[in-house]
Chain A
């Protein structure tokens, strides 16, 4: 089991305490391509933040590859994120004053990889995602699809255990969305990457092999979706 969650709870203490995750139990194997689906307010973003070690949880256990993720210092958390997790965000989260290749280099920079080596590695991924001619461009000179490809390169470049994609097609048109989802699918099949997609779009979820439904802070049904027919949408590659 690559990812194991046992009775994970999370409450936001505001003016009105909000119990967002109410005992999450979940296991994800290495090489799985799963989606976590839920409407807004279901707790899926909180779950994603905990999975990505961006946020901590109040009780329960969260293990990645057997390693307990609990009570980490900021530095340790940063180190784990850097080594184990690759993020793909809805809003791409590229640094605007850095070129595509410089963005991809950044996680390697924080690993202390030498300048030459990391440029080489970053260029390799940029090329694999078909952005060779765009390596020297800044994010605002690229289309949404291209930006998301840069973000995917950034997520892949450190060879992480888990790819976490938070609404990866949320800001893209339907054609590009299909391209990106095809890309993720291909990465999962060819490179045996573990990919977790968090989405509220059933069409996107339909691309994945397993759909985990989350509602009101608890895991609902889990659909096996090998044949990609669990959802009404997306069966013919139409996402929106």
Chain B
């Protein structure tokens, strides 16, 4: 092996320009792959704001308007949800384990002399996962809060900072009391501010919100937890059946589809997962095609190299080189070129990803009303780097095989006769 590498080193040194140009083609291919996959990952990270993790069967139901008159109820009548809809939902299907409501209102949060307006959500602890709320300090509303109807609140870090009078050390607010309207609430947690939100969001236990709002206040949505409905078709059938019985319950046309809107987290997650897999595959294919031009380049150059070295191969054959040893010489040279320059390309690509992440990835795009992150955490993982390296070695071998075959099969007298 040592001998093989010294042989290759001496030939590569012979043709510095050619080696560099070939290497550039390969490096460039890899840079493109890494940047493509890195930014692709960034794009997906921003879209999902998180990695896909399995979410249980959850559907949120939002009230809508009737689309036709039915049984004395006029068109465009608003459907209202209240606690009766919760108990109805829990009884309507054996698949539904639990239903819970959301109360939602705007109020003023104040602390000392600072005040701001926020959307206040009376929530169930489960919504933390459904809404992908990420805590930066403290905890989210839990079951005990719900049972105790405690006056606990979770606010976002921007709101906390603002309430502290622009103090970036938002965790200072943890355990302190702030006013919601004029009711004091204890801050038990601070969550990461939503990047694409229009204002602040705060969370209190549903049961507490229930007391604060007058009896019969409308629910902003009902969330259903269900089980054993796995396929897309089953989900759609389940949604349809639920809507029919909901319509009947509200005394409107059972076939009216606009009385409620549903968001199926399980399905949308599944769809998102599928979309991401397709996108990832597409990026790999694009990257591979780019690399392919690099491979063709290497193969082409190796062919020229073989042609130029025919006389040398003739000498080697006259001295006793077997076809296999000539073949090995060429293939290994090709692998060495692709692997070495591919590795350089990989390092450059990862650096480029790093720079992109620090620029594009950390500055939100301002589109007037909201700030939007298009990329988040641009970069590739170790696994991708490893896969790319393996791909390179395979590519190098493929690039070398045809030229090597040509070099190996030429007869020694023809090779010796060839021009130097």
Q: Out of A95, A111, A115, which one reaches B2, CB within 8 Å?
A: A115
A82-B320 CB under 8 A given contacts A97-B11, A115-B3: yes
14 example contacts (A-B, Cβ-Cβ < 8 A) are as follows A49-B413, A54-B411, A54-B416, A74-B409, A78-B322, A78-B323, A81-B320, A93-B314, A93-B315, A95-B316, A97-B13, A106-B319, A110-B325, A154-B319
Total A-B pairs, Cβ < 8 A: 63
Which residue of the partner chain, among B10, B11, B318, B420, contacts A54 with CB atoms under 8 Å? B318
A74 pairs with B322, CB closer than 8 A: yes
Question: Would you call A111 and B318 a contact (CB within 8 A)?
Answer: no
- Can you list the 4 inter-chain pairs with the closest CB atoms, starting with the nearest? A82-B320, A110-B320, A107-B319, A75-B322
CB-CB nearest in chain A for B14: A97
Complex CA gap A194/B391 in Å reads: 53
Query: With A49-B413, A54-B318 given, is the CB distance from A109 to B3 under 8 Å?
Result: yes
Tell me, yes or no, whether B317 is within 8 Å of chain A by CB.
Answer: yes
Bitwise, B384-420 to A at CB < 8 A (1) or not (0) is 0000000000000000000000000101110010001
Say yes or no for A173: interface residue by CB 8 A criterion.
no
Any A CB within 8 A of the CB of B127: no
A98 CB contacts on chain B under 8 angstroms: 10
> Can you list, as one digit per residue, whether each of A107-125 has a CB less than 8 Å from chain B (1) or not (0)?
1011100010000000000
The count of residues in chain A whose C-beta lies closer than 8 Å to any C-beta of chain B is 28
Residue count of chain B within 8 Å CB distance of chain A: 25
Chain A 43-58: CB-based contact to B (< 8 A → 1; otherwise 0): 0000001001011000
Residues of A within 8 A of B10 (CB): 97-98
**A79 at the A/B interface (Cβ < 8 Å)?**
yes
Closest to A81 in B: B320
Task: Summarize B's interface: helix, strand, loop or mixed.
Answer: helix
Complex Cα–Cα for A89 and B11 (A): 23
Tell yes or no: A33 within 8 A of B by CB: no
B residues neighboring A (CB under 8 Å) = 2-3, 10-11, 13-14, 312, 314-325, 409, 411-413, 416, 420
B318 touches which one: A79, A87, A97, A158 (CB < 8 A)? Answer: A87
Please, how many angstroms separate the alpha-carbon atoms of A79 and B325 in the complex?
12
Query: In this complex, what residue of B is CB-closest to A114?
Result: B3
Residues of A within 8 A of B321 (CB): 78, 110
Bound: A96/B309 CA distance, A: 11
A110 touches B11 (CB 8 A): no
Alpha-carbon distance A95/B321, docked complex (angstroms): 14
Quick check: B319 and A81 within 8 Å, CB to CB?
A: yes
With A75-B323, A97-B11, A111-B320 already in contact, 13 other A-B pairs whose C-beta atoms are closer than 8 Å: A49-B413, A55-B413, A75-B322, A78-B317, A87-B318, A89-B416, A91-B420, A95-B316, A96-B420, A106-B316, A107-B319, A110-B316, A110-B319
Given A95-B312, A97-B10: A79 and B2 interface contact (C-beta under 8 Å): no
* Known contacts A110-B325, A115-B2, A78 near B320 by CB under 8 Å: yes
The reply to whether B416 and A93 contact each other, CB–CB distance below 8 Å, is yes
Chain B residue contacts of A107, Cβ below 8 A: 319-320
Q: How far is the CA of A94 from the CA of B325 in the complex (A)?
A: 18
Contacts of B416 in A (CB 8 A): 54, 89, 93
State whether A75 touches B319 (Cβ < 8 A): no
| Alpha-carbon distance between A89 and B415 when the two chains are bound, in angstroms | 14
B312 partner residues in chain A, CB cutoff 8 A: 95
Q: A193-206 vs B: 1/0 string, CB under 8 Å?
A: 00000000000000
Q: Which residues of A contact B11 (CB under 8 A)?
A: 97
Q: How far is the CB of A103 from chain B (nearest CB, A)?
A: 9
In the complex, A76→B118 CA distance in Å? Answer: 87
How many Å lie between the Cα of A83 and that of B318 in the bound state?
Answer: 11
State how many angstroms separate the Cβ of A214 from the closest Cβ of chain B: 18
Instruction: List the B residue with the shortest CB-CB distance to A85.
Output: B318
CA A57 – CA B220 in complex, angstroms? 95
**CB–CB B320/A54 < 8 A:** no
Please indicate the chain B residues that have their CB under 8 angstroms from the CB of A81 in the complex. Answer: 317-320
Take A95-B315, A97-B14, A107-B319 as given contacts and tell me if A75 and B324 are in contact as well, using a CB distance cutoff of 8 Å. yes
Q: Could you say which residues of chain B place their CB within 8 Å of the CB of A94?
A: 315
Distance, CA A142 to CA B411, complexed state (A): 29
Residue on B nearest A154 in the bound complex, by CB: B319
